[in-house]
Amino acid sequence: MYTLHFAPDNASLIVRIALEEIGAPFDTVLVDRSAREQQSAAYRKLNPSGLIPVCIIDGAPVFETAAICLTLAERHGMLAPPPGDANRSGLLKWLFFLSNTMHSDLRLMFYPDQYVGEDPTQQSTLRQVTSARLRRNFAIFEDAYRNKDSAGPYLFGEDPTVVDIYLGLTCRWVQLYPSNAEKALDPRDYPSVFAMISTLETRPALARSFAADGIAAPYLTAPTPPDGSVGSAT
Ligand SMILES: N[C@@H](CCC(=O)N[C@@H](CS)C(=O)NCC(=O)O)C(=O)O
């Protein structure tokens, strides 16, 4: 049994989709971001960095989205080529790139105050530099999807992996956030990536996951914010 500590439209949604794709039973616990519950002593016992998500796996709290997804993939033999597979190192390469580069840059865009403080000029400079890097890195993914060996819609074939799901949510978030500033890029400018997310967003596991977070279709190609019925996203 798994317990996912989540907030709507947060990185926890990547884990929720993975759990729904796998078909594993799981409970959820809402982290009330309007009360900054992710910073509470109780939550920091689960994740000392105070970030969402945490997934309790066999009683042990696991944080870091990519680590949770990879653990789930290995436990269930789904959503990733297994160790020894010819595509395994490729999967790890793109998953780490998403986690330590792309996701980190999204954080710079969404929470500039946590990195350069409240000065609007410094925040604007940080966002400009980060936007340019995000566009360069989206172009790297575009090349990867355009030149992939597999005939299927996903990077490694007919079935999505955690890489496709993580990139799909990245495409969603760059279109919506930050809500108070210019967006870094438009995923339509990356047609092979956009074709992949157009297919990914039609999967039943995504419909169940987004509904649970109070989010209407289309989820990835023309996204709208959560309706607020489940809890605060920020
Ligand atoms: N590296 C972390 C990043 C997680 C992250 O940035 N979570 C956001 C929500 S999407 C969060 O907790 N934000 C609250 C904050 O920064 O205070 C992971 O992959 O899990």
pLDDT at res. 125: 97
In 10 A of CB 49, how many CB atoms?
A: 8
Going by pLDDT thresholds of 50, 70 and 90, the confidence category of residue 158 is very high
Q: What is the pLDDT of residues 15-58, one digit of tens each?
A: 999 999 999 999 999 999 999 999 999 999 999 999 999 999 99
And the tokens for 59? 């009683």
What domains appear along the chain, each with residue ranges and CATH number?
88-203 (1.20.1050.10)
Q: What is the pLDDT of residues 7-16, one digit of tens each?
A: 999 999 999 9
Question: Could you give the CA distance from residue 68 to residue 164 in angstroms, rounded to a whole number?
Answer: 15
Question: Could you give the CA distance from residue 91 to residue 177 in angstroms, rounded to a whole number?
Answer: 27
Q: Where are the alpha helices (DSSP H) in the chain?
A: 12-22, 41-46, 65-76, 88-97, 103-110, 113-116, 120-146, 162-176, 191-200, 204-212
The CB of 115 under 6 Å from ligand 1? The reply is: no
Going by pLDDT thresholds of 50, 70 and 90, the confidence category of residue 67 is very high
> CA nearest 175: which of 149, 212, 201?
201
Atom of ligand 1 nearest to the CA of 12: 10
Q: What is the pLDDT of residues 95-148, one digit of tens each?
A: 999 999 999 999 999 999 999 999 999 999 999 999 999 999 999 999 999 999
Q: What is the rounded average pLDDT of the residues 193-210?
A: 98
pLDDT averaged over the chain?
Answer: 97
Q: In Å, how far from its chain's centre is CA 166?
A: 4
Pocket probe for ligand 1: among 16, 49, 52, 213, the residue whose CB has the most ligand atoms within 8 Å is: 52
